[in-house]
Amino acid sequence: MRPTGWFQIGWSSTVPRGGVVPLRYFGQDLVAWRDLEGTVHVLDAYCRHLGANLAYGGCVTADGLRCPFHGWTWDAEGRNSAIPYQDRTNTARRIRSWSVVERNEVLFLWHDELGRPPYFDVPEVTEICDDLRGMVLQPALPDGTSHFTGMQVHPQYVVENAVDIHHFRFVHGTARSPVILREEVTDHTWHSVAGFGRRWADGIDRPGDRRNTITIHWVGIGFAYNAEQTPDGWRVMLISTTPVDDETTEVFGTYWLQDLPGAAAGDRRRRLDEIMRALPEDLDIWNHQIYLDPPGLATSEGAGFRKLRRWTGRFYPEAGPGHAVRGVGA
């Protein structure tokens, strides 16, 4: 439950300017704070003076995050920047600082058990496929989000949807299983396009024609963008699964709609309701699932699952980039 990658910890609205918020992910108590210039930072939660939790009563100053107990202040890198009752700071103590990216209204935290810095990036939502480049999307906030806590959903369950074509019939009620039209894999991304219905039965990808398709773009195993062209315009969903500890996770949904001038009042809510319906259907399965290794696979799905599990292996602690590990993801 401790894979490497970028994992969502909230949205831009989660941490207001000058705000301090307690978090717990990857078995660690953390504190998120937004400095006076507007940048979000995350540190381990406990002050290295006498162990107070900075998330409860801590406040943001020009020097960083000030402890509520004795006023010791810590900067974004976790260094002691001020002690109010002496001129000299404590250079021997430091709080662990976590890499954070705020992109597309979402806050992402980098996690790596080996302590390596980020070695891949979080893309802009409009960069995940050519069809979205230059497109204007409505902001997801405040109403285009969903958040499910206390889940027992391993990130591996979610990423395997990238090759699980047959679940669409039984979980989401499609008339037939889709066909994978395109699949492009790099060290840290898995990009595929699936076509639904008879018009795609020949399995031939036709760039520029995305009717009745879904584009899935995984970046590591922490999150994926799903993009669909509908009669009401494009819609994009971000699904993120973030471990809280070795047993539980939080699952986030973020939803963007193509901005269509002249759309009727109330149309946004209808479009959001349609796209937000799918994730709870999946969660009903994932939250009660166990992991089988090896699974019993049908002939039509075996190659896809085996290829994806080899790819996900590189994101587990024992592996570096480009290496697979045994166990989950192997």
Is the separation of the CB atoms in 124 and 103 below 8 Å? yes
Q: How far is CA 302 from CA 261, 293, 295, 315, 323, in A?
A: 45, 13, 9, 21, 21
CA neighbours within 13 Å on the CB side: how many for 242?
27
Tokens 């994101």 belong to which residue? 315
- In this prediction the pTM is 0.93
SS3 (DSSP) at 140:
coil
Residue-level pLDDT, tens digit, the chain, 330 residues: 899 999 999 999 999 999 999 999 999 999 999 999 999 999 999 999 999 999 999 999 999 999 999 999 999 999 999 999 999 999 999 999 999 999 999 999 999 999 999 999 999 999 999 999 999 999 999 999 999 999 999 999 999 999 999 999 999 999 889 999 999 999 999 999 999 999 899 999 998 899 999 999 999 999 999 999 998 899 999 999 999 999 999 999 999 999 988 777 679 999 999 999 999 999 999 999 999 999 999 998 999 999 999 999 999 987 544 443 333 433
SS (H, E, C) 59-78: EEECCEEECCCCCCEECCCC
Closest CA to 217 of 188, 177, 250, 255: 188
| pLDDT given for residue 265 in this prediction | 67
Q: Are 217 and 235 in contact (CB under 8 A)?
A: no
For residue 232, what are the contacts with CB-CB under 8 A and spacing of at least 6?
257, 260, 267, 271
Three-class SS state of 3 = coil
153 token code pair: 């959903």
Residue type, 62: A
Chain centroid to Cα 196, Å, comes to 26
First to last CA, the chain: 14
